[in-house]
Every structure is written in C-alpha cells, then in structure tokens.
Amino acid sequence: MTTQQVYIDHLLLQFNQEQFENLPSWISENFTVINGGVHTGGLSQNKLIIFRDGTYLELYNWVTKPDDWRKRLPGDFALTALDPISAEASRERIVDALENKPGDGKVGLTYSLPQDGGRKNAEGVDIRWKIVKARYTQEVSTPPDEFYPRGRTDAPFFCHDLTPRNRRVTFDLPSVTQHPSGATGIDKIEVLVPKGWLQSYTDLYTSIVGASPQQHEDGVEFRLSAPGDEGFSGTLRVRAAETAADEQFLREKGVGISSLVLRSDTSGPLSFPIVDYLQ
C-alpha cells in the first residue's frame, strides 16, 4: 500500500479520583507530569506526560462518569494525521480501506464522523480538536464476547488538532519534556489479539494505518512517525496470543493494548505496568 502519514498521538490511562490526585510511584518517580485541564462539559479532566518527539501519555479521570462512557471514548490509544490532512479526509481514507481492500478483517469495525472536542488548559487557554472514533458491529470474524471483558477496544481512535498542536501537546518546552527516567518518546505500542485472528487484525490495522506491516513470527509491526520527530519514530505491533499468560490477559483485559515501551536517553527501552490503568 501507499505509505500514509499516520502518526502516534498518545496513549490514554484512566485513573480513579484517588489515583489521579496521588499518582503511583512508577509515574511520579519517572516522569514530569503537568496539569492538562478540564474537558469541555466538565465531565473529565487530565494530566499529561509529554515527550519531546511530540507523543504523550494522558492520565485521564472522569469527574462524572457517564453511563455510556465506553461509547464516548473507545480505544486506549490515539493516532493522528497532521495539517493539511483534516479529520474528515483522514476518516474518509480509513473507511474506504475498511470497506474495500484490505478491509476490516471481517471483525466488524468502521469509524464515526468527526466529533468536536476540547478543554481549557491550566492557563485557561481553549484547545480544540476533532475525534474520529471506532464503531463496532458483530461480523463473521468477530472474536467471541469472552475476548471483550471490558468492552471493545480493538482499534485506536484518531485525534486531529484544530488549534495549533503545540498548544495541546507542548513538546517544544524542555521543562515539560525532561523526565527523571530520561524518556524521550513512545517506542512501541503492542496490541494483543486471540490466537487464530492475527490475519484478520493485520488486515484491519493495515487499513487503519494505510501502510503494509513488517512480518514477524508471532505478529506484525507497523513503522510509524511521531508528530515532533521527522521520519520513523516507533512501532505499532499486533501480536497473536501464544502463552498461558497471553490467554489470561485476553480473558481479563480483552483484545487491545498489552504493553508500552518508551525510548530513553539514559538507559535502554523502558517498560511500565500500564495494563492496570487501561480500563
């Protein structure tokens, strides 16, 4: 396929109020955390861990959790496309690929029309974006319900900036992007899928990313860029379950992100216990 300029945007971790106010030590000891602000409508708020490659971790808290929160915010990580590619154009490209070739792997997935989003940052400045969310249906190759104990998060959502990106993600401020761990950006996001469904999800993610992956023994990898880093930056890995631990993960967490690896200036790749916060 023609290479599509799809970028890693951010990974979302959800915290209850107590956790949000008193972050676990693996966060406080390794990262510089800034206040993001309150989202439009006042239902949620966030804190941010921003990396100099323009990617970030969003620490998300529902002030008032809506009954249909999974429908409002599907997926645990976001991709993006940069100006001049609009949310509308990005969604049109993805839906066309899902409906034709390579298709959605017959797992039952498309993307909704863009929806406006926003928040005020800690200084009271308005930040605006558009979200394109995954929408799911039951199809011939959809894995059984047992693989979705927390609802379907098979695929990422897309977040497209309307205001300048460095207003939402201040990766141009060294004071924000310097971390005790030396972390500089997202190196790898891994998505775990059931054994026997790898080809279906390879087709699905090929349509979403808009480029062909590299083949590996137990999975595939898509080479992606980061918004603040020219050229290749990190990988999105889709891997099939192989071990008893993998099977247990799918029973407890379901199809979706199983691990995150960050790059570091001061050490080798860094892995963190993110799965407890993917809710």
Convert the pLDDT of each residue in 75-93 to its tens digit. Answer: 689 999 998 999 999 999 9
Residue 128 in domain: yes
Residue 1 in domain: no
Residue 2 in domain: no
Which of 212, 201, 232, 237 minimizes the C-alpha distance to 2?
212
**By percentage, how much of the chain surpasses pLDDT 90?**
72
Residue 94 in domain: yes
**By percentage, how much of the chain surpasses pLDDT 70?**
95
Number of structural domains found in the chain: 1
In tens, the pLDDT along 22-67 reads: 999 999 999 999 999 889 888 889 999 999 999 999 999 988 888 8
Does residue 140 surpass a pLDDT of 50?
yes
Domain hosting 49: range is: 7-276
Residue 63 in domain: yes
Residue 1's pLDDT band (boundaries 50, 70, 90)? very low
pLDDT computed for residue 124 by the predictor: 85
- Please, what sign has the CA dihedral across residues 220, 82, 133, 252? positive
Residue type, 54: G
pLDDT computed for residue 266 by the predictor: 87
pLDDT computed for residue 178 by the predictor: 97
Give the H or E element holding residue 98. Answer: helix 87-99
In tens, the pLDDT along 172-188 reads: 999 999 999 999 999 99
Residue 22 in domain: yes
Which of 187, 184, 183, 200 minimizes the C-alpha distance to 237?
187
Contact 277, 46 (CB under 8 A): no
Residue 34 in domain: yes
Does residue 205 surpass a pLDDT of 50?
yes
In tens, the pLDDT along 190-200 reads: 999 999 999 99
Average pLDDT over the chain reads 90
Residue 66 in domain: yes
Residue 123's pLDDT band (boundaries 50, 70, 90)? confident
68 Cβ partners below 8 Å, 6+ apart? none
In tens, the pLDDT along 206-243 reads: 999 999 999 988 899 999 988 887 666 789 999 999 99
